[in-house]
């Protein structure tokens, strides 16, 4: 069991003053003064419209913002008379803002929210990102209702995103976690979740709060613990996710390292759970999915390709620790021709890195950072392939990647268990990997 991190004095004082609350909504932040007022107002409106008979607390857990984020959160108000609600809320919603303690990162912010949820004996907890521009009052209903009225422990978001937003999710985390644990949770690192007190308590008893879980790894950690330990899980449709998105070619090496490191670490912990799993099953989805407008995202393909080719020149030694010889050769072949990194080769790269992470404990950080150029190569290849596709067609491509990942799981299992290094692709994958000279050239 993890030792409890002491709550800030302000938080303890707030608990003594409030006593108990039915609902806790947490908003982790760091320099989000521009967007957090909208987020707080949407939460207030959602609580008033849909949960007027419940007492609630909104907690801004801040990581030391220097742009006035806590002040902006506390100052944000919404005129409830504009909602035309039929019942007056029984109690005012408390708005609090505290700095969190511990390792800097989103996970430490969540830890404070979870501690407050336990201390206030809340019946449900919701966490949402502070940089959201598309959050509406309905999000609060969608994330809370399955917990309060349908006995679910974990509510994952399901929303539409631009086809080049969430590329780490689409190319690594969703296919991999789906094939490992057999559950089709579309946004396992979505950032906006509903949680039962039972699951919150489980999170707080964990001993890995001082690891990368405290940073970018928190979302996949929360999802995986819920799924692997058989908590009741569902998804809720939230519409569009519009936030401060970044070009996939931007410097995200540290985020990629923390997310993949968390995934691989959880693979090691839960290997007895995912080893026997074959295929995948849908997860309950609440709400009415519909098409929405999305902001365009500019993608610098040339920059990604340049980073990949630089990796081929300088990272051969570290890549050779992770990749099978024929995979490494296929990677170098890509640098000398039009870049088309197909699904089978890409997932073999990810599987090889997962197994290398397990074997080479001293080189883990270097291994995961060296994955960045390969991830950028896959992203560039995907962008070139899907440039003229509509959203539904892109989703079909991601589904195809997931199916390929599930079909290749025997390869992962054999390598993970220390099988023969000469294990080959499944027959369909081998045909693609060994005939790279016949790969389609995309414009």
Q: What is the pLDDT of residues 418-429, one digit of tens each?
A: 854 444 444 443
| 271 lies in the same domain as 331 | no
Within a domain: 296: no
The answer on 76 and 188 residing in a single domain is yes
Residues 424, 325, single domain; the answer is: yes
- Last-in-domain residue among 228, 253, 286: 286
Domain that holds residue 114: 9-286
pTM: 0.89
For residue 225 the two structure tokens come to 């613990």
Residue 177 lies in a domain: yes
65 and 134 in one domain? yes
Within this chain, do residues 262 and 325 fall inside the same structural domain, yes or no? no
Same domain, 168 and 194: yes
Q: State which of 232, 256, 286 marks the end of a domain.
A: 286
What Å distances lie between residue 254 and 218, 310, 364, 366, 368, CA to CA?
A: 14, 18, 13, 11, 9
Residues 263 and 336 in one domain: no
Q: Are residues 187 and 325 in the same domain?
A: no
* Of 357, 372, 113, 315, the residue nearest 222 (C-alpha): 113
Would you state the pLDDT for residue 82? 63
Token pair, residue 254, equals 């540290």
Query: Does residue 443 lie within any of the structural domains?
Result: no
3-state secondary structure of 236: strand
Last residue of a domain, one of 260, 286, 312: 286
Under a CB-based contact definition with an 8 Å cutoff, are residues 29 and 64 in contact?
Answer: no
Q: In this predicted structure, what is the pLDDT of residue 433?
A: 34
- pLDDT under 50 in the chain at which residues? 88, 247-251, 420-443
Work out how many domains the chain is built from and give that number.
2
Is 21 in the same domain as 106?
Answer: yes
Instruction: Tell me, yes or no, whether 250 and 317 share the same domain.
Output: no
Domain presence at residue 295: no
Q: Are residues 110 and 232 in the same domain?
A: yes
Dist. CA 334–CA 338, nearest whole Å:
7
């Amino acid at each position: 069991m993890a030792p409890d991190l002491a709550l800030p004095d302000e938080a303890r004082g707030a608990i003594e003053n409030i006593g108990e609350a039915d609902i806790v909504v947490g908003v982790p932040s760091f320099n989000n003064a521009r967007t957090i007022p909208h987020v707080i107002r949407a939460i207030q409106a959602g609580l008033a419209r849909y949960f007027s008979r419940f007492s609630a607390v909104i907690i801004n857990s801040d990581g030391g913002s220097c742009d006035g984020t806590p002040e902006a959160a506390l100052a944000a108000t919404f005129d409830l008379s504009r909602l035309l609600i039929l019942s007056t809320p029984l109690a005012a919603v408390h708005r609090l803002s505290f700095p969190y303690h511990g390792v800097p990162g989103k996970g430490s912010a969540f830890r404070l929210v979870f501690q407050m949820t336990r201390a206030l004996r809340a019946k449900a907890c919701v966490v949402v990102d502070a940089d959201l521009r598309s959050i509406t009052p309905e999000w609060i209903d969608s994330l809370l209702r399955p917990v309060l009225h349908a006995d679910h422990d974990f509510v994952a978001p399901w929303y539409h995103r631009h086809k080049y937003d969430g590329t780490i999710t689409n190319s690594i985390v969703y296919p991999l976690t789906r094939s490992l644990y057999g559950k089709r949770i579309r946004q396992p690192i979505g950032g906006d979740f509903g949680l039962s007190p039972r699951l919150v308590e489980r999170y707080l008893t964990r001993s890995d709060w001082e690891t990368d879980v405290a940073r970018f790894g928190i979302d996949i950690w929360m999802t995986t613990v819920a799924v692997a330990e058989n908590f009741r899980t569902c998804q809720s449709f939230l519409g569009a996710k519009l936030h401060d998105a970044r070009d996939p070619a931007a410097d995200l090496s540290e985020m990629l390292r923390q997310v993949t490191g968390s995934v691989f670490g959880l693979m090691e912990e839960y290997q007895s759970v995912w080893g026997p799993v074959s295929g995948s099953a849908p997860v309950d989805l609440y709400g009415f999915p519909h098409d929405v407008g999305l902001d365009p995202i500019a993608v610098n393909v040339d920059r990604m390709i340049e980073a990949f080719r630089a990796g081929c020149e300088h990272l051969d030694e570290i890549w050779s620790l992770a990749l099978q010889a024929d995979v490494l050769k296929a990677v170098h072949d890509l640098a000398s021709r039009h870049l088309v990194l197909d699904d089978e080769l890409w997932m073999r790269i990810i599987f090889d890195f997962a197994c290398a992470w397990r074997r080479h404990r001293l080189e883990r950080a270097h291994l995961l950072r060296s994955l960045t150029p390969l991830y950028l190569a896959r992203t560039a290849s995907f962008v070139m392939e899907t440039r003229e596709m509509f959203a539904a067609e892109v989703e079909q491509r991601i589904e195809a990647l997931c199916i390929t990942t599930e079909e290749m799981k025997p390869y992962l299992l054999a390598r993970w268990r220390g099988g023969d290094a000469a294990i080959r692709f499944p027959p369909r994958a081998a045909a693609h990997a060994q005939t790279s000279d016949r790969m389609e050239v995309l414009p």
